[in-house]
């Protein structure tokens, strides 16, 4: 059975991503397997743009690194069924078509200009308050947080983790798949 959720324990709190396996199976496998292997543990949110998105997943912390579980980069899984229609959409960061690695971002608002450019692989299942808090941190001129926000541990789960996101920021989205967003590596 495939992992359905990934829990991220960070210095700002805990959030959980629900994976959209039906639409983007290779991308979901990549995120879940990197988490299982400890790839994200100790990495930072290297880019935060208030009222836009927060980005992480680069082991170098520069926004220029990271590889997929497939070795290097892998192809996009773009679908018309997923759009960047609101906050909490999880998409792969990239540097152009078919350049997905380990980096991803979470939207803080609707970003329809990213549709068709970034693979949407999930949504924030719980802990949206944590994502919003990360989106409000002070940054430098390059959008890098002045005080690091670190991912202590990422762990994949079959079904929602029993302890969710530990309280604050819990959201529930019903009615099917929430449309999604996208962003580029920097």
3, 15, 45, 52: the active-site residue: 52
47, 84, 123, 144: the active-site residue: 47
CB atoms within 10 A of CB 106: 28
45, 74, 104, 105: the active-site residue: 105
Annotated active-site residue 47? The verdict is yes
5, 19, 46, 55: the active-site residue: 55
State how far the Cα of 31 lies from the Cα of 106, in Å rounded to an integer: 13
19, 34, 108, 114: the active-site residue: 114
Annotated active-site residue 52? The verdict is yes
Kindly tell me the burial class for residue 160, based on how many C-beta atoms sit within 10 Å of its own C-beta (0-12, 13-18, 19 or more). middle
Annotated active-site residue 64? The verdict is no
Annotated active-site residue 121? The verdict is no
CA 127 to each of CA 171, 172, 186: distance values in angstroms, whole numbers, following the listed order: 7, 10, 25
Annotated active-site residue 153? The verdict is no
30, 94, 100, 103: the active-site residue: 94
Q: Which residues are catalytic?
A: 47, 52, 55, 94, 105, 114, 118
């Amino acid at each position: 059975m495939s992992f359905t959720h990934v829990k991220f324990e960070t210095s700002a709190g805990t959030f959980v991503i629900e994976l959209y396996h039906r639409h983007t199976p290779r991308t979901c496998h990549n995120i879940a397997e990197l988490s299982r292997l400890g790839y994200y543990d100790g990495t930072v949110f290297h880019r935060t743009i208030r009222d836009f998105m927060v980005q992480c997943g680069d082991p170098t912390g520069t926004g220029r690194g990271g590889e997929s579980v497939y070795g290097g980069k892998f192809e996009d899984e773009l679908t018309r069924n997923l759009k960047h229609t609101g906050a909490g959409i999880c998409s792969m960061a990239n540097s152009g078509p078919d350049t997905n690695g380990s980096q991803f971002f979470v939207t803080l608002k609707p970003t329809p200009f990213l549709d068709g450019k970034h693979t949407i692989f999930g949504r924030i299942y719980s802990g949206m308050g944590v994502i919003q808090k990360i989106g409000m941190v002070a940054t430098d001129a390059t959008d890098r947080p002045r005080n690091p926000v670190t991912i202590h541990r990422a762990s994949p789960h079959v079904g929602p983790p029993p302890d969710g996101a530990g309280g604050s920021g819990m959201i529930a989205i019903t009615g099917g798949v929430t449309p999604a967003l996208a962003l580029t590596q920097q």
